[in-house]
Amino acid sequence: MTYRTIEYSVDDAVATITLNRPQARNGFTTEMADELGAAFTEADRDDAVRAVIFAAQGRDFCVGMDLTAGGSDEDVTDPEWVEWSTRVVRPMTDLNKPVIVAMQGAAIGVGLSMTLAADFRLAATDSRFGFVFARRGLFPEGGSLWFLPRIVGLAKAKEWMITGRVFGADEALAAGLVTSLHDAEELLPAARALAAELTTQVAPVSVAAIRRGLVAMSGDKTPDDVFTLDARLISYAFASSDLREGIMSFLQKRPPHFTGQVATELPHLDDWLS
């Protein structure tokens, strides 16, 4: 696919998806939504990719919906219509690879909510955030009403979403919204260093099962379904070459070399998590 609002590249088993509308402060558009969804799907289908970095050109990550881009001609009343942010968040949620977001400057509205399905959110010390929907007469999107309270707790989610206020990097870190803070020039190197660790030190099949299982099980009232899943996964692991490699590399005090491929060796998660 040819991308116009984003950039997509793969290097050393890491796919980097970069917002590329710096002249508009990476304002979110329908075209960007569709391209991001396609890029995350492309990364998921590529066996050469073991981790994804989601970044942005320019001084801001994304200032929210681009209100100057004009309206969409889509029929939003169609029962089959998929909301724009969901087009990004759903494939990110279902991804079998870990996702690292690197945010600088402003991450506002959809520019923040579309990152909540990621596994790590790294931020520059000058970054600022806001779920400003109530101040625009809008509503949260991209599943953020589900994700945010699970990340920062219900009380903080209510405070941020109901007031719609903009807050800084230190508050985001204290609440657990972001994983770590970095000087602006160190943000991408930090994301790449984390990606390098994920692509060399952990088994991709294990990571896929863990990230998807955590989301699927987070709403269960009891751990009973998790116990059932655990039995299936552990039984599956005992027949895998990755488990043997993990044990041998530990005993031999050497880096692991995991050969399991998500495309061919991932357990039956779609069935087991339903």
Helix/strand/coil for 87 = helix
Residues 255, 27: Cα–Cα separation, whole Å: 42
Range of the domain at 228: 202-272
Residues 16, 217: Cα–Cα separation, whole Å: 28
**The pLDDT of residue 188 is above 90:** yes
Mean pLDDT of all residues in 152-177: 98
Last residue of a domain, one of 183, 199, 215: 199
pLDDT of residue 80: 85
3-state SS string for 105-140: CEEECHHHHCCCCCCEEEEECCCEEECCHHHHCCCC
**The pLDDT of residue 71 is above 70:** no
pLDDT of residue 70: 61
pLDDT of residue 234: 85
Q: Of the given ranges (22-31, 161-170, 175-184, 261-270), which has the lowest mean pLDDT?
A: 261-270
**The pLDDT of residue 274 is above 80:** no
pLDDT of residue 210: 93
pLDDT of residue 69: 67
Residue 1 is assigned to a structural domain of this protein: no
pLDDT of residue 233: 85
**The pLDDT of residue 235 is above 90:** no
Q: Which residue did the predictor score with more confidence, 150 or 75?
A: 150
Residue 169 is assigned to a structural domain of this protein: yes
Digit-coded pLDDT (tens) for 132-141: 999 999 899 9
Mean pLDDT of all residues in 177-203: 97
Residues 127, 60: Cα–Cα separation, whole Å: 8
Report how many domains make up the chain. 2
Domain shared by 179 and 258, yes or no: no
Please say whether the beta carbons of 165 and 156 come within 8 A.
Answer: no
Residue 221 is assigned to a structural domain of this protein: yes
Residues 169, 154: Cα–Cα separation, whole Å: 19
Last residue of a domain, one of 199, 220, 246: 199
Write b or e for each residue in 85-114: b if 16 or more Cβ atoms lie within 10 A of its Cβ, otherwise e: bbbbbbbbbbbbbbbbbbbbbbbbbbbbbb
User: Residue 242's domain is classified under what CATH number?
Assistant: 1.10.12.10
Residues 9, 53: Cα–Cα separation, whole Å: 10
Residue among 58, 39, 52, 44 nearest 11 (CA): 52
